[in-house]
Structure 1
Amino acid sequence: MPKVIMTFPEGKNKVVTMSYDDGTSADRKLVEIFNRYAIKGTFHLNSGLFGTGGRIPREEVSRLYQGHEVSTHTVTHPTISRSPREQLIEEIMDDRKNLEKIVGYTVRGLSYPNGSYNRFIKEMLPFLGIEYARTVHSTGNFSIPDDFNEWNPTCHHNQNLLKLAEDFVKLHKKQYLYMMYVWGHSYEFEQDHNWDLIENYCEYIGKRDDIWYATNLEIVDYMKAFQNLKFSANSHFVFNPSAMSIWLSVDEQIVEVKAGEQINLVKN
Protein backbone atom coordinates (compact mmCIF):
# COMPACT_ATOMS: atom_id res chain seq x y z
CA MET A 1 0.00 0.00 0.00
CA PRO A 2 1.41 3.42 -0.94
CA LYS A 3 1.90 6.11 1.68
CA VAL A 4 -0.71 8.74 0.84
CA ILE A 5 -1.19 12.02 2.68
CA MET A 6 -3.07 15.20 1.85
CA THR A 7 -1.25 18.37 0.87
CA PHE A 8 -2.50 21.84 0.12
CA PRO A 9 -2.64 22.96 -3.54
CA GLU A 10 0.51 22.32 -5.57
CA GLY A 11 1.94 20.14 -2.80
CA LYS A 12 2.31 22.94 -0.25
CA ASN A 13 1.96 22.20 3.46
CA LYS A 14 1.47 25.74 4.79
CA VAL A 15 -1.51 28.09 4.50
CA VAL A 16 -2.07 31.69 5.59
CA THR A 17 -5.54 33.13 6.11
CA MET A 18 -6.81 36.41 7.55
CA SER A 19 -10.12 37.15 9.28
CA TYR A 20 -11.48 40.65 9.99
CA ASP A 21 -14.76 41.67 11.59
CA ASP A 22 -17.38 44.43 11.38
CA GLY A 23 -16.68 45.89 7.93
CA THR A 24 -15.54 49.36 8.97
CA SER A 25 -14.11 51.96 6.59
CA ALA A 26 -10.56 50.95 7.55
CA ASP A 27 -11.18 47.76 5.56
CA ARG A 28 -10.45 49.80 2.45
CA LYS A 29 -6.83 50.25 3.43
CA LEU A 30 -6.54 46.70 4.76
CA VAL A 31 -7.85 45.18 1.52
CA GLU A 32 -5.38 47.29 -0.45
CA ILE A 33 -2.52 45.93 1.67
CA PHE A 34 -3.73 42.34 1.27
CA ASN A 35 -4.03 42.78 -2.50
CA ARG A 36 -0.55 44.27 -2.75
CA TYR A 37 1.02 41.17 -1.22
CA ALA A 38 -1.36 38.55 -2.71
CA ILE A 39 -2.88 37.67 0.67
CA LYS A 40 -6.51 36.62 0.97
CA GLY A 41 -8.88 37.65 3.71
CA THR A 42 -12.32 36.80 5.02
CA PHE A 43 -14.45 39.75 6.09
CA HIS A 44 -17.33 39.13 8.49
CA LEU A 45 -20.07 41.72 8.00
CA ASN A 46 -23.23 42.88 9.78
CA SER A 47 -25.69 43.62 6.99
CA GLY A 48 -28.03 45.53 9.29
CA LEU A 49 -25.31 48.05 10.15
CA PHE A 50 -24.03 48.99 6.69
CA GLY A 51 -23.19 52.69 6.46
CA THR A 52 -23.53 53.32 10.20
CA GLY A 53 -20.82 54.00 12.75
CA GLY A 54 -18.08 54.29 10.14
CA ARG A 55 -19.00 51.02 8.41
CA ILE A 56 -18.71 50.33 4.69
CA PRO A 57 -21.95 51.16 2.81
CA ARG A 58 -23.89 48.36 1.16
CA GLU A 59 -23.19 49.54 -2.39
CA GLU A 60 -19.42 49.28 -1.88
CA VAL A 61 -19.29 45.73 -0.49
CA SER A 62 -19.19 43.71 -3.71
CA ARG A 63 -16.42 45.79 -5.30
CA LEU A 64 -14.28 46.26 -2.20
CA TYR A 65 -14.10 42.62 -1.17
CA GLN A 66 -13.73 41.15 -4.65
CA GLY A 67 -11.19 38.32 -4.56
CA HIS A 68 -11.71 37.86 -0.84
CA GLU A 69 -14.56 36.25 1.12
CA VAL A 70 -17.61 37.91 2.62
CA SER A 71 -18.95 36.02 5.63
CA THR A 72 -21.72 36.52 8.15
CA HIS A 73 -21.29 38.21 11.53
CA THR A 74 -25.07 38.38 12.19
CA VAL A 75 -27.34 41.23 11.15
CA THR A 76 -26.95 43.44 14.22
CA HIS A 77 -24.04 41.97 16.21
CA PRO A 78 -25.87 40.69 19.35
CA THR A 79 -24.37 38.51 22.07
CA ILE A 80 -25.96 35.39 20.63
CA SER A 81 -25.30 33.06 23.56
CA ARG A 82 -27.81 35.22 25.47
CA SER A 83 -30.32 35.41 22.61
CA PRO A 84 -33.48 33.29 22.18
CA ARG A 85 -33.37 30.60 19.52
CA GLU A 86 -35.71 32.57 17.24
CA GLN A 87 -33.42 35.60 17.27
CA LEU A 88 -30.33 33.49 16.70
CA ILE A 89 -31.88 31.93 13.60
CA GLU A 90 -33.09 35.26 12.26
CA GLU A 91 -29.77 37.04 12.88
CA ILE A 92 -27.76 34.45 10.96
CA MET A 93 -30.20 33.58 8.18
CA ASP A 94 -31.15 37.19 7.41
CA ASP A 95 -27.48 38.16 7.33
CA ARG A 96 -26.79 35.34 4.89
CA LYS A 97 -29.69 36.37 2.67
CA ASN A 98 -28.70 40.03 2.68
CA LEU A 99 -25.05 39.35 1.95
CA GLU A 100 -25.79 36.76 -0.75
CA LYS A 101 -27.92 39.29 -2.62
CA ILE A 102 -24.90 41.59 -2.69
CA VAL A 103 -22.01 39.23 -3.46
CA GLY A 104 -23.82 36.62 -5.56
CA TYR A 105 -22.46 33.48 -3.88
CA THR A 106 -23.45 31.37 -0.91
CA VAL A 107 -22.29 32.78 2.39
CA ARG A 108 -21.36 29.79 4.54
CA GLY A 109 -19.09 31.14 7.27
CA LEU A 110 -19.51 33.01 10.54
CA SER A 111 -17.44 34.77 13.14
CA TYR A 112 -19.15 34.75 16.50
CA PRO A 113 -20.23 38.33 17.38
CA ASN A 114 -18.65 39.46 20.64
CA GLY A 115 -16.93 36.05 20.64
CA SER A 116 -20.21 34.64 21.95
CA TYR A 117 -21.17 30.99 21.38
CA ASN A 118 -22.09 27.78 23.17
CA ARG A 119 -22.70 24.12 22.40
CA PHE A 120 -26.31 24.71 21.39
CA ILE A 121 -25.31 27.38 18.86
CA LYS A 122 -22.62 25.14 17.40
CA GLU A 123 -25.17 22.34 16.97
CA MET A 124 -27.57 24.73 15.22
CA LEU A 125 -25.11 26.04 12.63
CA PRO A 126 -25.29 23.16 10.10
CA PHE A 127 -29.06 23.65 9.90
CA LEU A 128 -28.46 27.33 9.08
CA GLY A 129 -26.06 26.57 6.23
CA ILE A 130 -22.97 27.60 8.21
CA GLU A 131 -19.92 25.41 7.63
CA TYR A 132 -17.40 27.13 9.88
CA ALA A 133 -17.38 29.64 12.71
CA ARG A 134 -14.41 31.53 14.15
CA THR A 135 -13.86 32.23 17.83
CA VAL A 136 -11.64 34.87 19.46
CA HIS A 137 -9.58 32.32 21.39
CA SER A 138 -6.01 32.56 20.07
CA THR A 139 -3.93 29.39 20.24
CA GLY A 140 -0.48 30.77 19.47
CA ASN A 141 0.12 27.73 17.28
CA PHE A 142 -0.33 26.70 13.65
CA SER A 143 -2.60 23.68 13.94
CA ILE A 144 -5.52 22.72 11.69
CA PRO A 145 -8.81 22.61 13.65
CA ASP A 146 -10.71 19.37 14.07
CA ASP A 147 -13.93 21.34 14.67
CA PHE A 148 -14.50 24.10 12.14
CA ASN A 149 -17.48 25.38 14.12
CA GLU A 150 -15.06 26.23 16.91
CA TRP A 151 -12.22 27.54 14.78
CA ASN A 152 -9.61 29.09 17.05
CA PRO A 153 -7.20 31.45 15.29
CA THR A 154 -3.45 31.55 15.74
CA CYS A 155 -3.47 35.12 17.05
CA HIS A 156 -5.00 38.55 17.05
CA HIS A 157 -2.73 40.89 15.10
CA ASN A 158 -1.65 42.58 18.34
CA GLN A 159 -0.44 39.27 19.81
CA ASN A 160 3.20 38.78 18.87
CA LEU A 161 2.36 38.80 15.16
CA LEU A 162 5.80 39.28 13.61
CA LYS A 163 7.52 36.73 15.85
CA LEU A 164 4.83 34.16 15.04
CA ALA A 165 5.28 34.93 11.34
CA GLU A 166 9.01 34.27 11.61
CA ASP A 167 8.35 30.97 13.39
CA PHE A 168 5.81 30.02 10.73
CA VAL A 169 8.15 30.73 7.82
CA LYS A 170 10.82 28.52 9.42
CA LEU A 171 8.55 25.46 9.60
CA HIS A 172 9.76 22.77 7.24
CA LYS A 173 8.56 19.31 8.27
CA LYS A 174 6.54 17.99 5.33
CA GLN A 175 4.69 15.39 7.43
CA TYR A 176 2.60 18.18 8.98
CA LEU A 177 0.13 20.76 7.69
CA TYR A 178 0.52 24.24 9.16
CA MET A 179 -1.88 27.17 9.21
CA MET A 180 -1.30 30.75 10.31
CA TYR A 181 -4.68 32.34 11.03
CA VAL A 182 -4.74 36.03 12.01
CA TRP A 183 -7.86 37.89 13.13
CA GLY A 184 -8.83 41.37 14.27
CA HIS A 185 -10.69 44.55 13.33
CA SER A 186 -9.24 46.93 10.79
CA TYR A 187 -10.27 49.99 12.83
CA GLU A 188 -7.81 48.86 15.51
CA PHE A 189 -4.90 49.83 13.25
CA GLU A 190 -6.19 53.39 13.20
CA GLN A 191 -6.89 53.44 16.94
CA ASP A 192 -3.48 52.00 17.78
CA HIS A 193 -1.58 53.92 15.08
CA ASN A 194 0.10 50.69 13.95
CA TRP A 195 -0.72 50.23 10.29
CA ASP A 196 2.99 49.51 9.88
CA LEU A 197 2.43 46.27 11.83
CA ILE A 198 0.12 44.70 9.27
CA GLU A 199 2.07 46.15 6.34
CA ASN A 200 5.31 44.65 7.65
CA TYR A 201 3.60 41.34 8.32
CA CYS A 202 2.08 41.13 4.85
CA GLU A 203 5.31 42.15 3.15
CA TYR A 204 7.16 39.45 5.10
CA ILE A 205 4.65 36.61 4.82
CA GLY A 206 3.22 37.34 1.34
CA LYS A 207 4.16 36.05 -2.11
CA ARG A 208 6.07 32.99 -0.88
CA ASP A 209 6.23 29.94 -3.13
CA ASP A 210 5.76 27.46 -0.28
CA ILE A 211 2.61 29.05 1.19
CA TRP A 212 -1.00 28.76 0.05
CA TYR A 213 -2.96 31.99 0.55
CA ALA A 214 -6.63 31.24 1.08
CA THR A 215 -9.87 32.55 2.51
CA ASN A 216 -11.43 30.77 5.46
CA LEU A 217 -14.01 29.11 3.22
CA GLU A 218 -11.45 27.99 0.65
CA ILE A 219 -9.66 26.08 3.42
CA VAL A 220 -12.89 24.45 4.61
CA ASP A 221 -13.92 23.51 1.06
CA TYR A 222 -10.52 22.01 0.34
CA MET A 223 -10.46 19.93 3.51
CA LYS A 224 -13.98 18.64 2.84
CA ALA A 225 -13.10 17.80 -0.77
CA PHE A 226 -10.14 15.75 0.44
CA GLN A 227 -12.35 13.91 2.92
CA ASN A 228 -14.75 13.12 0.08
CA LEU A 229 -12.12 11.46 -2.12
CA LYS A 230 -12.98 7.85 -2.92
CA PHE A 231 -9.90 5.66 -2.41
CA SER A 232 -9.73 2.02 -3.38
CA ALA A 233 -9.37 -0.33 -0.42
CA ASN A 234 -5.64 -0.71 -1.06
CA SER A 235 -5.16 3.00 -1.97
CA HIS A 236 -3.96 2.05 -5.45
CA PHE A 237 -6.36 4.46 -7.14
CA VAL A 238 -8.64 7.33 -6.16
CA PHE A 239 -11.69 9.09 -7.58
CA ASN A 240 -12.33 12.79 -6.98
CA PRO A 241 -16.09 13.55 -7.15
CA SER A 242 -15.64 17.22 -6.22
CA ALA A 243 -15.39 20.29 -8.45
CA MET A 244 -11.80 21.14 -7.42
CA SER A 245 -8.39 19.56 -7.74
CA ILE A 246 -6.91 17.93 -4.65
CA TRP A 247 -3.17 17.40 -4.25
CA LEU A 248 -1.68 14.35 -2.54
CA SER A 249 1.76 13.21 -1.53
CA VAL A 250 2.08 9.61 -2.73
CA ASP A 251 5.30 8.00 -1.54
CA GLU A 252 6.66 11.56 -1.28
CA GLN A 253 5.72 12.41 -4.86
CA ILE A 254 3.16 15.20 -5.40
CA VAL A 255 0.10 14.12 -7.39
CA GLU A 256 -2.84 16.24 -8.53
CA VAL A 257 -6.26 14.56 -8.56
CA LYS A 258 -8.34 16.72 -10.85
CA ALA A 259 -12.04 17.37 -10.44
CA GLY A 260 -14.17 14.44 -11.60
CA GLU A 261 -11.20 12.23 -12.42
CA GLN A 262 -9.98 8.85 -11.23
CA ILE A 263 -6.24 8.25 -11.26
CA ASN A 264 -3.88 5.42 -10.39
CA LEU A 265 -1.60 6.06 -7.44
CA VAL A 266 0.56 3.00 -8.05
CA LYS A 267 2.29 2.28 -11.32
CA ASN A 268 1.44 -1.12 -12.79
Structure 2
Amino acid sequence: MKISFGFYPQGKIKALTMSYDDGQIYDRRLIRIFNKYGIKGTFHLNSGKLDSEPFLNSSEIRDLFEGHEVAIHTLNHPYLTRVPKESIIEEIMEDRERLESLVNYPIRGMSYPYGDYDEELLELLPYLGIEYSRTVSSHGNFSLPTHFLRWNPTCHHDDNLLKKYEEFKKLESNETMPLLYVWGHSFEFERNNNWDMIEEFCKKISNDETIWYATNVEIVDYLKALRNLKFSVNKKIVYNPSSLTVWIGVDGNPVKVEGGRYLTL
Protein backbone atom coordinates (compact mmCIF):
# COMPACT_ATOMS: atom_id res chain seq x y z
CA MET A 1 0.00 0.00 0.00
CA LYS A 2 1.45 3.36 -1.09
CA ILE A 3 0.59 6.42 0.99
CA SER A 4 1.13 9.86 -0.50
CA PHE A 5 0.21 13.50 0.01
CA GLY A 6 -1.29 14.35 -3.33
CA PHE A 7 -4.76 15.73 -2.83
CA TYR A 8 -6.44 18.95 -1.82
CA PRO A 9 -9.97 19.17 -0.29
CA GLN A 10 -12.59 16.95 -1.96
CA GLY A 11 -9.78 15.01 -3.59
CA LYS A 12 -8.88 17.80 -6.01
CA ILE A 13 -5.41 17.57 -7.52
CA LYS A 14 -4.59 21.26 -8.15
CA ALA A 15 -5.04 24.58 -6.35
CA LEU A 16 -5.22 28.25 -7.31
CA THR A 17 -4.61 31.22 -5.04
CA MET A 18 -4.44 34.93 -5.88
CA SER A 19 -2.60 37.58 -3.86
CA TYR A 20 -2.97 41.35 -4.20
CA ASP A 21 -1.25 44.17 -2.34
CA ASP A 22 -1.84 47.73 -1.10
CA GLY A 23 -5.64 47.97 -0.83
CA GLN A 24 -6.30 50.60 -3.47
CA ILE A 25 -9.77 51.40 -4.80
CA TYR A 26 -9.21 49.15 -7.83
CA ASP A 27 -9.58 46.14 -5.53
CA ARG A 28 -13.33 46.78 -5.81
CA ARG A 29 -13.38 45.92 -9.49
CA LEU A 30 -11.02 42.98 -9.02
CA ILE A 31 -13.21 41.56 -6.27
CA ARG A 32 -16.25 41.80 -8.56
CA ILE A 33 -14.39 39.74 -11.18
CA PHE A 34 -13.24 37.17 -8.61
CA ASN A 35 -16.73 36.81 -7.19
CA LYS A 36 -18.26 36.48 -10.64
CA TYR A 37 -16.10 33.45 -11.43
CA GLY A 38 -15.68 31.89 -7.98
CA ILE A 39 -12.01 32.81 -7.59
CA LYS A 40 -10.64 33.36 -4.08
CA GLY A 41 -7.92 35.80 -3.15
CA THR A 42 -5.86 37.21 -0.32
CA PHE A 43 -5.62 40.99 -0.08
CA HIS A 44 -2.68 42.51 1.80
CA LEU A 45 -3.58 45.94 3.16
CA ASN A 46 -1.74 48.90 4.64
CA SER A 47 -4.21 50.08 7.26
CA GLY A 48 -2.29 53.33 7.76
CA LYS A 49 -3.22 54.35 4.21
CA LEU A 50 -6.93 53.54 4.36
CA ASP A 51 -9.44 56.41 4.15
CA SER A 52 -7.17 58.43 1.85
CA GLU A 53 -7.00 58.53 -1.94
CA PRO A 54 -6.48 56.22 -3.79
CA PHE A 55 -6.95 53.69 -0.99
CA LEU A 56 -10.06 51.93 0.25
CA ASN A 57 -12.24 53.16 3.09
CA SER A 58 -12.07 51.39 6.43
CA SER A 59 -15.86 51.12 6.51
CA GLU A 60 -16.00 48.92 3.40
CA ILE A 61 -13.28 46.40 4.25
CA ARG A 62 -15.40 43.72 5.96
CA ASP A 63 -18.13 43.54 3.32
CA LEU A 64 -15.85 44.04 0.31
CA PHE A 65 -13.54 41.17 1.18
CA GLU A 66 -16.15 38.76 2.49
CA GLY A 67 -15.32 35.26 1.26
CA HIS A 68 -11.71 36.23 0.70
CA GLU A 69 -8.79 36.82 3.12
CA VAL A 70 -7.47 40.10 4.47
CA ALA A 71 -3.80 40.01 5.49
CA ILE A 72 -1.27 42.66 6.42
CA HIS A 73 1.19 44.57 4.26
CA THR A 74 2.43 46.63 7.25
CA LEU A 75 0.98 49.87 8.53
CA ASN A 76 2.82 52.31 6.23
CA HIS A 77 4.66 50.15 3.68
CA PRO A 78 8.32 50.76 4.67
CA TYR A 79 11.39 48.76 3.70
CA LEU A 80 11.45 46.47 6.75
CA THR A 81 15.21 45.89 6.63
CA ARG A 82 15.86 49.65 6.86
CA VAL A 83 14.00 50.50 10.04
CA PRO A 84 14.67 49.66 13.73
CA LYS A 85 13.26 46.46 15.15
CA GLU A 86 10.89 48.55 17.28
CA SER A 87 9.46 50.04 14.09
CA ILE A 88 9.08 46.60 12.52
CA ILE A 89 7.04 45.44 15.50
CA GLU A 90 4.87 48.53 15.37
CA GLU A 91 4.35 48.28 11.60
CA ILE A 92 3.20 44.67 11.86
CA MET A 93 1.29 44.63 15.13
CA GLU A 94 -0.51 47.92 14.54
CA ASP A 95 -1.52 46.81 11.05
CA ARG A 96 -2.78 43.51 12.44
CA GLU A 97 -4.76 45.15 15.21
CA ARG A 98 -6.42 47.75 12.98
CA LEU A 99 -7.36 45.26 10.29
CA GLU A 100 -8.57 42.68 12.79
CA SER A 101 -10.94 45.25 14.22
CA LEU A 102 -12.39 45.68 10.72
CA VAL A 103 -12.73 42.04 9.65
CA ASN A 104 -13.30 40.46 13.09
CA TYR A 105 -10.89 37.53 12.78
CA PRO A 106 -7.21 36.96 13.62
CA ILE A 107 -4.89 37.95 10.80
CA ARG A 108 -2.03 35.51 10.35
CA GLY A 109 -0.44 36.34 7.01
CA MET A 110 1.35 39.14 5.20
CA SER A 111 3.35 40.10 2.14
CA TYR A 112 6.65 41.98 2.31
CA PRO A 113 6.54 45.65 1.24
CA TYR A 114 8.78 45.93 -1.82
CA GLY A 115 9.58 42.24 -1.31
CA ASP A 116 12.12 43.35 1.30
CA TYR A 117 13.08 40.95 4.12
CA ASP A 118 16.07 39.28 5.76
CA GLU A 119 16.80 36.33 8.02
CA GLU A 120 16.38 38.39 11.18
CA LEU A 121 12.87 39.34 10.09
CA LEU A 122 12.02 35.70 9.34
CA GLU A 123 12.98 34.79 12.89
CA LEU A 124 10.90 37.61 14.36
CA LEU A 125 7.62 37.10 12.46
CA PRO A 126 6.33 34.01 14.32
CA TYR A 127 6.49 35.98 17.59
CA LEU A 128 4.28 38.62 15.98
CA GLY A 129 1.59 36.12 15.02
CA ILE A 130 2.59 35.86 11.36
CA GLU A 131 2.49 32.33 9.94
CA TYR A 132 3.23 33.04 6.28
CA SER A 133 4.48 35.86 4.10
CA ARG A 134 4.69 36.22 0.34
CA THR A 135 7.74 37.50 -1.51
CA VAL A 136 7.90 39.10 -4.97
CA SER A 137 10.34 36.48 -6.28
CA SER A 138 8.34 34.47 -8.78
CA HIS A 139 9.71 30.98 -9.49
CA GLY A 140 7.60 30.28 -12.57
CA ASN A 141 6.48 26.80 -11.60
CA PHE A 142 3.65 25.21 -9.63
CA SER A 143 5.55 23.99 -6.56
CA LEU A 144 4.36 24.21 -2.97
CA PRO A 145 6.19 26.52 -0.54
CA THR A 146 9.11 24.99 1.32
CA HIS A 147 9.09 27.85 3.84
CA PHE A 148 5.81 29.63 4.55
CA LEU A 149 7.60 32.83 5.61
CA ARG A 150 9.51 32.85 2.33
CA TRP A 151 6.60 31.99 0.07
CA ASN A 152 7.58 32.61 -3.54
CA PRO A 153 4.65 32.89 -5.97
CA THR A 154 4.35 31.31 -9.39
CA CYS A 155 4.10 34.55 -11.33
CA HIS A 156 2.97 38.15 -11.45
CA HIS A 157 -0.23 38.55 -13.45
CA ASP A 158 1.66 40.45 -16.18
CA ASP A 159 4.09 37.55 -16.65
CA ASN A 160 2.37 35.55 -19.40
CA LEU A 161 -0.53 34.63 -17.13
CA LEU A 162 -2.69 33.07 -19.84
CA LYS A 163 0.26 30.93 -20.95
CA LYS A 164 0.74 29.85 -17.32
CA TYR A 165 -2.92 28.90 -17.25
CA GLU A 166 -2.47 26.67 -20.31
CA GLU A 167 0.49 24.93 -18.65
CA PHE A 168 -1.47 24.50 -15.44
CA LYS A 169 -4.51 23.16 -17.27
CA LYS A 170 -2.49 20.33 -18.82
CA LEU A 171 -1.30 19.00 -15.45
CA GLU A 172 -3.01 15.73 -14.57
CA SER A 173 -0.75 14.15 -11.95
CA ASN A 174 -1.55 14.53 -8.26
CA GLU A 175 1.95 13.57 -7.11
CA THR A 176 3.23 17.12 -6.63
CA MET A 177 0.00 18.91 -5.61
CA PRO A 178 0.43 21.68 -8.22
CA LEU A 179 -0.30 25.20 -6.98
CA LEU A 180 -0.74 28.21 -9.25
CA TYR A 181 -0.02 31.31 -7.15
CA VAL A 182 -0.61 34.65 -8.89
CA TRP A 183 0.26 38.01 -7.35
CA GLY A 184 0.13 41.68 -8.22
CA HIS A 185 -1.58 45.01 -7.54
CA SER A 186 -5.06 45.83 -8.77
CA PHE A 187 -4.01 49.36 -9.79
CA GLU A 188 -1.78 47.77 -12.44
CA PHE A 189 -4.86 46.66 -14.40
CA GLU A 190 -6.08 50.24 -14.44
CA ARG A 191 -2.66 51.65 -15.30
CA ASN A 192 -2.01 49.13 -18.07
CA ASN A 193 -5.60 49.01 -19.29
CA ASN A 194 -5.69 45.21 -19.20
CA TRP A 195 -8.72 44.40 -17.07
CA ASP A 196 -9.85 42.18 -19.93
CA MET A 197 -6.82 39.94 -19.37
CA ILE A 198 -7.58 39.15 -15.72
CA GLU A 199 -11.25 38.63 -16.51
CA GLU A 200 -10.35 36.25 -19.33
CA PHE A 201 -8.02 34.35 -17.02
CA CYS A 202 -10.66 34.05 -14.30
CA LYS A 203 -13.28 32.91 -16.81
CA LYS A 204 -10.98 30.26 -18.29
CA ILE A 205 -9.83 28.83 -14.97
CA SER A 206 -13.21 28.89 -13.22
CA ASN A 207 -15.54 25.91 -12.66
CA ASP A 208 -12.77 23.33 -12.97
CA GLU A 209 -13.55 20.27 -10.84
CA THR A 210 -9.84 19.44 -10.50
CA ILE A 211 -8.97 22.82 -8.91
CA TRP A 212 -9.35 23.99 -5.32
CA TYR A 213 -9.88 27.78 -5.24
CA ALA A 214 -8.37 28.95 -1.96
CA THR A 215 -6.98 31.88 -0.03
CA ASN A 216 -3.35 31.91 1.11
CA VAL A 217 -4.17 31.03 4.69
CA GLU A 218 -6.49 28.19 3.66
CA ILE A 219 -3.59 26.60 1.81
CA VAL A 220 -1.32 27.07 4.83
CA ASP A 221 -3.83 25.47 7.19
CA TYR A 222 -4.52 22.56 4.87
CA LEU A 223 -0.87 21.74 4.22
CA LYS A 224 -0.03 21.95 7.93
CA ALA A 225 -2.90 19.61 8.78
CA LEU A 226 -1.89 17.20 6.03
CA ARG A 227 1.76 17.14 7.10
CA ASN A 228 0.78 16.67 10.74
CA LEU A 229 -1.05 13.38 10.21
CA LYS A 230 0.14 10.57 12.48
CA PHE A 231 0.70 7.13 10.93
CA SER A 232 1.29 3.75 12.54
CA VAL A 233 4.56 2.04 11.65
CA ASN A 234 2.88 -0.20 9.08
CA LYS A 235 0.94 2.82 7.73
CA LYS A 236 -2.37 1.02 8.09
CA ILE A 237 -3.68 3.41 10.76
CA VAL A 238 -3.72 7.19 10.47
CA TYR A 239 -4.79 9.80 13.02
CA ASN A 240 -5.72 13.35 12.13
CA PRO A 241 -5.20 15.59 15.20
CA SER A 242 -6.41 18.65 13.27
CA SER A 243 -10.00 19.85 13.13
CA LEU A 244 -9.65 20.01 9.32
CA THR A 245 -10.59 17.10 7.11
CA VAL A 246 -7.79 16.22 4.70
CA TRP A 247 -7.36 13.85 1.78
CA ILE A 248 -4.43 11.49 1.32
CA GLY A 249 -3.46 9.23 -1.53
CA VAL A 250 -3.77 5.49 -0.99
CA ASP A 251 -2.39 3.62 -4.00
CA GLY A 252 -3.08 6.76 -6.00
CA ASN A 253 -6.70 7.17 -4.94
CA PRO A 254 -8.03 9.99 -2.71
CA VAL A 255 -9.06 8.93 0.79
CA LYS A 256 -10.72 11.30 3.25
CA VAL A 257 -9.31 11.54 6.77
CA GLU A 258 -11.74 13.47 8.94
CA GLY A 259 -10.55 15.89 11.60
CA GLY A 260 -10.01 14.42 15.06
CA ARG A 261 -10.49 10.85 13.82
CA TYR A 262 -8.54 7.62 13.42
CA LEU A 263 -8.82 5.77 10.13
CA THR A 264 -7.82 2.21 9.32
CA LEU A 265 -6.55 1.99 5.76
In structure 2, the residue matched to 1:76 is 76
> What residue identity is the alignment partner of 1:22?
D
Q: Output the CA distance in 1 between the equivalents of 2:174 and 2:18.
A: 23
Q: Output the CA distance in 1 between the equivalents of 2:26 and 2:125.
A: 29
Q: Output the CA distance in 2 between the equivalents of 1:32 and 1:83.
A: 37
In structure 2, the residue matched to 1:5 is 4
1:101 aligns with 2:113: no
Kindly provide the CA deviation profile for residues 48-78 of structure 1, in whole angstroms up to 9, marking residues without a partner as x.
Answer: 1102131110010000000000000001111
Which shows bigger deviation, 145-154 or 63-72? 145-154
Kindly provide the CA deviation profile for residues 106-149 of structure 1, in whole angstroms up to 9, marking residues without a partner as x.
Answer: 10001001111111111111111101000001111111110111
In structure 2, the residue matched to 1:244 is 244
Q: Output the CA distance in 2 between the equivalents of 1:253 and 1:208.
A: 19
> What residue identity is the alignment partner of 2:3?
V
Q: Quote how far apart the aligned CAs of 1:231 are.
A: 1.2
Q: Output the CA distance in 2 between the equivalents of 1:102 and 1:125.
A: 22
Q: Output the CA distance in 2 between the equivalents of 1:49 and 1:245.
A: 38
- Any residues of structure 2 matched to 1:213-252 within 5 Å, and which? 213-252=213-252
Q: Output the CA distance in 1 between the equivalents of 2:253 and 2:184.
A: 38
**Following superposition, which runs of at least 4 residues in structure 1 exceed 2 angstroms of deviation?**
none
In structure 1, the residue matched to 2:172 is 172
**How many matched pairs?**
264
Contact 2:228–2:241 (CA<8 Å) still a contact in 1? yes
Q: Output the CA distance in 2 between the equivalents of 1:49 and 1:225.
A: 35
Q: Quote how far apart the aligned CAs of 1:12 are.
A: 1.6
Q: Output the CA distance in 2 between the equivalents of 1:254 and 1:164.
A: 26
Q: Output the CA distance in 2 between the equivalents of 1:232 and 1:94.
A: 44
In structure 2, the residue matched to 1:127 is 127
Q: Output the CA distance in 2 between the equivalents of 1:175 and 1:150.
A: 23
Q: Output the CA distance in 2 between the equivalents of 1:254 and 1:147.
A: 26
Q: What TM-score, normalized by structure 2, do the two folds share?
A: 0.98
Q: What TM-score, normalized by structure 1, do the two folds share?
A: 0.97
Kindly provide the CA deviation profile for residues 87-114 of structure 1, in whole angstroms up to 9, marking residues without a partner as x.
Answer: 0011001111111111111100010011
1:117 aligns with 2:117: yes
Q: Quote how far apart the aligned CAs of 1:232 are.
A: 1.1
Identity among equivalent positions (%) equals 53
Contact 2:143–2:176 (CA<8 Å) still a contact in 1? no
> What residue identity is the alignment partner of 1:261?
R
Q: Quote how far apart the aligned CAs of 1:214 are.
A: 0.4
Contact 2:14–2:174 (CA<8 Å) still a contact in 1? no
Q: Output the CA distance in 1 between the equivalents of 2:8 and 2:175.
A: 12
Unaligned runs of 5+ in 1: none
- Any residues of structure 2 matched to 1:42-57 within 5 Å, and which? 42-57=42-57
Q: Quote how far apart the aligned CAs of 1:253 are.
A: 2.3
- 3-state DSSP class of the match of 2:254? strand
Q: Output the CA distance in 2 between the equivalents of 1:214 and 1:225.
A: 15
Q: Output the CA distance in 1 between the equivalents of 2:144 and 2:253.
A: 23
- 3-state DSSP class of the match of 1:233? coil
> What residue identity is the alignment partner of 1:243?
S
In structure 2, the residue matched to 1:35 is 35
- 3-state DSSP class of the match of 2:43? strand
> What residue identity is the alignment partner of 2:82?
R
> What residue identity is the alignment partner of 2:4?
I
Q: Quote how far apart the aligned CAs of 1:174 are.
A: 2.4
CA-based RMSD? 0.8
> What residue identity is the alignment partner of 2:140?
G
Q: Output the CA distance in 2 between the equivalents of 1:87 and 1:48.
A: 14
In structure 1, the residue matched to 2:26 is 26
> What residue identity is the alignment partner of 1:9?
P
> What residue identity is the alignment partner of 2:44?
H
> What residue identity is the alignment partner of 1:26?
Y
Q: Output the CA distance in 1 between the equivalents of 2:145 and 2:94.
A: 27
Q: Output the CA distance in 2 between the equivalents of 1:260 and 1:201.
A: 38
